[in-house]
Amino acid sequence: MATVFAGFPAGINAIAAARVVFEEKGVEMPLSQDAPPAPTDRRSRGLAALAVTSQTAGRQVLDSLADIAPDFAGFILDFSYGDVISRGILTSGHKEIAMIAAATARGTMEPQLKVHVKAARAVGLSREQIVEVIIQMAVYAGFPAAINGLFAARAAFREMGE
């Protein structure tokens, strides 16, 4: 998720840090044996992942790009949802926790955070769990980022009628 929210350099740094910890702990991680997905498979997996997680809010984001950058909407759908979010290792709830944490830590992603707060509710996370994830981010991202995250979550809850 680091790559989706913060770019490839952040993703590479996160993998490097994880590798060091895994080596120190003697944890062996299997390499993926899967071939790269075909482009049509990416799109269908992306649409399926979008339907399970972000649903209407995610579709609205993609639709909002149609008049200015329709290809960019495709990048989001194919890479973020088709290649990353569609992976089956984590549950949908765990993925949303990761996305809420990353968006909160960035401190400047209110629209995206609201989408993933709504998605987290759609996959079964409670309001309390979502708020707790954001509170935990104060330790590493700082109180301003956590406060912004809490305000975004409150707005998302209100938009959902909660």
For 137-154, what is the mean pLDDT? 97
pTM of the model: 0.78
Which pLDDT does position 66 carry in this prediction? 85
Structural domain spans, the chain: 1-33, 37-87, 90-162
Q: Phi, psi (5° rounding) for residue 33? A: -100, 0
The encoded tokens of residue 23 equal: 């080596």
Q: Which CATH superfamily is domain 90-162 in?
A: AhpD-like (1.20.1290.10)
For residue range 74-88, list pLDDT tens digits in order.
988 999 999 999 998
Are 97 and 133 a contacting pair, CB within 8 Å?
yes
